[in-house]
Amino acid sequence: MSRSALVYTALGLIAIIAAALVLSPSPAPQATLAPEVLSKVEALKTGDMKKLAFHSAAKPVAQADYDTFEGGKANLADHKGRVVLLNFWATWCAPCRHEMPMLSALQDELGGNDFEVITIATGRNEPAAMARFFKEINVTNLPLHRDPTSAVAREMGVLGLPATVILNRDGQEIARLLGDADWASDSAKTLLQAIISQE
């Protein structure tokens, strides 16, 4: 076989393999919730919870570290094993001030081994201003984590504040709500309990 014939044969084989790879079915993405649980949760969405959008497949979360109030480093992977309500906020954000006490009430009621509320101030937020913000609204049970360079928020695709995402026990994002919401409402608590009980 001539050299040119070998080249054409090799190119033909490459084209066949490439076509097979393109046409072969991809593995189905992991669903965020079991269909019966998702159906139940969707039925529970009233009031502000109507803004909560569940993803068709679980999404990876940011790998970047954030700063703890004490000056250490932490990562979202540190919270695997629990269902997490992750809230991005800032001291200059008026809707965040309105929402934070409701997040605090939610942590009081549901927080524990299976669930926690994590708050991360993204962008330029001085620790003293953050502490004053929480003191003014009488919130004492939520963490004063910081994302000073917005690295975590950027990786998570957060474009506005407040933004809240729900993470499953595997540390993947399964739902997102943009804007402030009444997280202490019966609707919010009931649907979160349904997620926790499945997870």
Distance of CA 149 to the CA centre of its chain: 18
Query: What angle, rounded to 10 degrees, do the helices at 94-110 and 127-136 form?
Result: 70
Per domain, the residue ranges of the chain are: 29-198
Region 29-198: CATH code: 3.40.30.10
Q: For 65-113, how does the pLDDT look when each residue is reduced to its tens digit (9 = 90+)? A: 999 999 999 999 999 999 999 999 999 999 999 999 999 999 999 999 9
- Give the 3-state secondary structure of residue 87: strand
Is the full-model pTM beyond 0.85?
A: no
Other beta carbons less than 10 A from residue 102's beta carbon:
18
